């Protein structure tokens, strides 16, 4: 992680991350944590519709297809959309730890342009945990899972209680998520960064 800011460097007392015993099995599709999430939700017509899968240990993989609605410069993905894809992928790591956490800091490096209609192959892993702080890194490749790196990010997530969402979200969406009769979907709505 050369060039990483001090805020994203784990402290000396950080520990190696541990995959929760109830985490999704390697290869399992994680699905949307909330149907209206811009990153992974199916109810967002212009959203990323990012699909993440649990990997081995504390890693996940994901795919995102850049559509014309995601462009910035003509024919190229908007940098903010690419940062969102990295953030969504990094946030999905929390399912492997079985913790609720939000993005505290995200540093993104843009290495090469990502054309419209390109599939971005993402991989992320948790590198360390220090108290409520979760340190992680991700890469996005084009041309296949082993293709050249187009974007990469280092991030710090901070563990929060569900009250974080209840106290800060819009009441109508919070109530709709809380009233979902599907207990698993209801719990998952609050499992990943907002």
pLDDT at 180: 60
Torsion sign, CA atoms 83, 86, 88, 91: negative
Question: Which of 173, 118, 123 is CA-nearest to residue 153?
Answer: 123
What whole-number distance in Å separates Cα of residue 105 and Cα of residue 6? 11
Tell me: pLDDT of 110 over 90: yes
Instruction: Give me 25's structure tokens.
Output: 């099995």
* 165 and 194 Cβ atoms separated by less than 8 Å: yes
Pair of tokens at residue 190:
């609050």
Residues shown for the chain: 194
H or E stretch at 53: strand 51-54
pLDDT in tens, 121-157: 999 999 999 999 999 999 999 999 999 999 999 999 9
Reported pTM = 0.83
């Amino acid at each position: 992680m050369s060039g990483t800011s001090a805020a994203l460097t784990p402290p000396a007392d950080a520990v190696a991350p541990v995959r929760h015993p109830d985490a999704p099995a390697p290869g399992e599709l994680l699905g949307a944590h909330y149907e209206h999430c811009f990153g992974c939700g199916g109810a967002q017509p212009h959203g990323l519709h990012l699909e993440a899968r649990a990997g081995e240990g504390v890693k996940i993989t994901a795919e995102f297809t850049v559509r014309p609605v995601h462009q910035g410069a003509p024919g190229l993905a908007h940098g903010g959309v690419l940062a969102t894809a990295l953030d969504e992928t990094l946030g999905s790591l929390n399912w492997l730890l079985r913790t609720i956490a939000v993005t505290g800091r995200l540093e993104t490096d843009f290495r090469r342009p990502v054309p419209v209609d390109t599939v971005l192959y993402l991989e992320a892993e948790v590198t360390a945990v220090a108290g409520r702080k979760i340190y992680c890194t991700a890469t996005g490749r084009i041309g296949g899972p082993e293709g050249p790196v187009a974007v990469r990010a280092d991030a710090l997530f901070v563990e929060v209680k569900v009250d974080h969402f209840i106290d800060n979200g819009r009441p109508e969406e919070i109530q709709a998520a809380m009233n979902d009769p599907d207990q698993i979907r209801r719990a998952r709505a609050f499992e990943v960064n907002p």
